[in-house]
Amino acid sequence: MLAEMQKWLLSQADQLRTASPAGRLLLEQVVTSLGVVLVVSPGLRSSGLLTESDGVFTILVREQPRAGSLTQHQRFTIAHEIGHVLLIKKWDFRPPFSNRELYYQAEHLCNSFAGRLLVDPRLLIHQSLTSTFDAISAVCRLADICLVSREFVAREVVLLQPFLTFAQIAQGATEKEWLVEWCVRGDAPLRVARKKILRGESLDQAFMQWRQEVCPENTALLPSKVRLDRAAKRFLLATFQTKNPACMEPGRVEQD
């Protein structure tokens, strides 16, 4: 049943995308087309909430300070809640939190739906990822086009390219401490390891430590990295989990 639900949800995401041009989804139009009410609430404690009254669904999202339009996080929350709306309308599938297994299965289904809806699969399919630097560049470019986070795009990329692993790290409390803000592995694309600490006498040592942990069979190859923020020393990393003859690593690259 769950597999059937997921297949149906993904097909619905593809249908909803047809009204939008390739690239950034016109999410407000999707909400309107489904007859769903969208409310941006300044006092909402959670990031999002779905309510139903007399058959009318309302999605509430928390207001973001100084945001003139929907933010990346708000877009994900809305897309996720649309998934719940569709599951309820089609299958009456709304498991309570007390049933943890079914509840988290529903959350997984809606996360998958949100990824398919927000990140245009046509853009992913046409990406030629023959190096880790290509993979990093694609993630950054698609995040900007689709107005979603780099982590979110990375999850979608590894669904198609499971040999890739991405991580974003930043300078920690000291010069020898680095914080893994998130990591998406190709063998577990929806499991994100956060707040892991790396230590090393140098930046390269910290990168090598991360590389050995995520892909020990390829420790001779260093990851490619792109500098995202010079002031905060934040980097996006990518590496191959298994040796792939079609993939070449051009060496480490830094750019702003």
Q: What is the pLDDT of residue 76?
A: 94
- Average pLDDT of the chain to the nearest whole number: 82
Domain residue ranges in the chain: 2-118, 127-240
Q: What is the pLDDT of residue 217?
A: 62
* Angle, in degrees to the nearest 10, between helices 100-118 and 72-91: 120
Q: Residue 15: helix, strand or coil by DSSP? A: helix
Which range is most confident: 86-90, 140-144, 158-162, 242-246? 86-90
pLDDT tens, position by position, 75-100: 999 999 999 999 999 999 999 999 99
CB 164 within 8 A of CB 244: no
pLDDT tens, position by position, 212-224: 776 666 555 566 7
Whether the per-residue pLDDT at 116 is higher than 80: the answer is yes
Q: Which of residues 128 and 164 earns the better pLDDT score?
A: 164
Q: Which of residues 126 and 242 earns the better pLDDT score?
A: 126
The mean pLDDT value for 144-167 works out to 87
Q: What is the pLDDT of residue 188?
A: 57
User: For residues 207 and 212, what is the distance between their CA atoms, to the nearest angstrom?
Assistant: 9
Residue 171 in tokens? 């300078």
The mean pLDDT value for 141-167 works out to 88
User: For residues 251 and 253, what is the distance between their CA atoms, to the nearest angstrom?
Assistant: 6
Give CA 21 to chain center in angstroms.
21
Other beta carbons less than 10 A from residue 144's beta carbon: 13
Residue 109 in tokens? 């289904």
The CATH number that domain 2-118 falls under is 1.10.10.2910
Give the helix/strand (H/E) hosting 209: helix 203-214
Q: What percent of the chain has pLDDT above 70?
A: 81
pLDDT classification of 238: cutoffs 50, 70, 90:
confident
Q: What is the pLDDT of residue 171?
A: 83
